[in-house]
Amino acid sequence: MKLFFSRNPNPRLAVAVARYLDADVEFEYASPFAPGQAKRYRPLNPNLSLPILVGSGKSLWEADAIACRLSRDARSDFWRTGDDQPEMIRWLSWGKENFARACDMVHFERGTKQRYGLGPIDQGRVEEGLRRFRTAAAILEAEFSEGGWLVGDSVSYADFRMAAFLPFNDVAGLPLEDYPSVGRWYRRLEAIDAWRDPFEGLNAPELPPVPGHARPA
């Protein structure tokens, strides 16, 4: 199988899952929106978005579906099944609609728009995203007040999905420091090699810099 990816949040998430599971996939950097590339990638994903997993049969797109497939192939409980599955699905659903959406709103204004010259920062959207972030982070703060992971006593895909935008917080500037339990949870994720640097050893060009923002050392 081949995983087409970039360094953006959802493709990064898929690569981190594949590296964590030691999945038998080939990684290929892709840029479907680059001039002349749509014809190649549209049959694989009509949205032209990444990640895309290609193997025998139909291509698979969307990071959650790819994580499910890779975990199943690896016979891993990283994608929870059985009695823990409803709990994991709850966090995936809530996280994408609340915590991750808030992170995305702020990151899009302060990061994505600035990287690609899509216009000035909309401060109203930033403030709305920060308000949503504080509401969602307070819920996670209570959840993590006694440590641990989102589902059971080991890391799962729910943790990876919840944190998808946090590797980009150097430009988003979300006030993670206001939520110490959430911060401790994220530092545990950062201790996992596959999460901290999923692109190690891969041909993965850096994202365009955000003007006026120095890259982290």
- Distance of CA 173 to CAs 106, 111, 125, 213, Å? 8, 10, 14, 11
* Residue of higher predicted confidence among 28 and 147: 28
Give the per-residue pLDDT at 56. Answer: 76
Q: Model pTM?
A: 0.95
Q: Is the pLDDT of residue 213 over 80?
A: no
Evaluated on CA atoms 14, 206, 174, 167, the torsion sign reads: positive
Write down the mean pLDDT value for the chain: 95
Q: Is the pLDDT of residue 61 over 80?
A: yes
- Rounded average pLDDT over 162-180: 97
- Rounded average pLDDT over 97-122: 96
- Rounded average pLDDT over 118-142: 97
Among residues 103, 83, 98, the alpha carbon closest in space to that of 143 is found at 98
62, 9 contact by CB (below 8 A): no
Q: Is 60 helix (H, G, I), strand (E, B) or coil?
A: strand
Q: Is the pLDDT of residue 16 over 90?
A: yes
Give the per-residue pLDDT at 159. Answer: 98
Whole-number Å distance between alpha carbons of 196 and 194:
6
Q: Is 4 helix (H, G, I), strand (E, B) or coil?
A: strand
Within its chain, how far is the Cα of 18 from the centroid?
A: 13
Whole-number Å distance between alpha carbons of 159 and 36:
36
| pLDDT band at 216; cut points 50, 70, 90 | very low
Whole-number Å distance between alpha carbons of 195 and 91:
19
156, 189 contact by CB (below 8 A): no
| pLDDT band at 120; cut points 50, 70, 90 | very high
50, 12 contact by CB (below 8 A): no
- Rounded average pLDDT over 162-175: 97
Q: Over pLDDT 70: what percentage of the chain?
A: 98
Domains of the chain: 2-73 (3.40.30.10), 82-196 (1.20.1050.10)
Give the per-residue pLDDT at 57. Answer: 80
Instruction: Encode burial over 94-112: b for 16+ CB neighbours within 10 A, e otherwise.
Output: bbeebbbebbbbbbbbbbb
164, 15 contact by CB (below 8 A): no
- Rounded average pLDDT over 127-155: 95
Among residues 108, 128, 132, 129, the alpha carbon closest in space to that of 119 is found at 108
Give the per-residue pLDDT at 147. Answer: 77
- Rounded average pLDDT over 192-200: 97
Give the per-residue pLDDT at 146. Answer: 83
- Rounded average pLDDT over 10-24: 98
